[in-house]
Structure 1
């Protein structure tokens, strides 16, 4: 599992960890039941505080992405496929909202955005 921490980001370190692990789960890079590094091991690998990694894992558990078993560790939680699809759609919706806001600021209309999107869909 590869997590990259950016010191120049305005996002707190625990959120960077949380978001990257969530992304790996949503994309299917981390599978249901797969073990995560221990809090101490992750803190050591990332050269950060154990408290920071603990907070990230607590957030992931609160949101239902992981489960922690006393004495065994933390594992990717079983995901409801419908809920997982909603989480993916939410990510896309947030990114599209940014595009809409930016296009309005730049005076680009819907038709132009639609054309760009069609071209991008064909290219990728």
Structure 2
């Protein structure tokens, strides 16, 4: 499980961990029953206070995404896969919002953005690299 934190984002570290674990579950990179790193191990990897990781794990547990097993660690909950579609759509909605905001700032119309998305989809499906407009 790879998590990257940024102190420059203005987003609390525990929330960055929560969001990234949600993304990993939603994208299928973490599946039901898979164990998350122990709190102390992840805290050492991220160079953060273990309480920060513990808070993130509590948030994830409260959301039903993970479950603690006594003396056995923290695991992705079985119902995590049911949340996956909703989480994927939520992640995409946030990225779409950012894209739309940026396109408005650049003076690019919605029609041009949609056309560019379609073109990029064709490029990606064909396995080509690069190329934009």
Shorter-chain TM-score range: 0.7 to 0.9
Count of matched residue pairs: 124
Structure 1 stretches lacking a partner, 5+ long: none
Partners in 2 of 1:103 and 1:44 — Cα distance? Answer: 39
SS at match of 2:67: strand
Partners in 2 of 1:18 and 1:98 — Cα distance? Answer: 20
- Answer with 41-50 or 77-86: which moved more: 77-86
Structure 2 stretches lacking a partner, 5+ long: 125-133
TM-score (norm 1): 0.88
SS at match of 1:74: strand
Q: CA deviation at 1:80?
A: 5.8
TM-score (norm 2): 0.83
CA RMSD, 1 decimal: 1.7
Tell me the equivalent position of 1:8: 8
Deviations 1:44-85 (A, max 9, x none): 222211110100101111112111122221000113655321
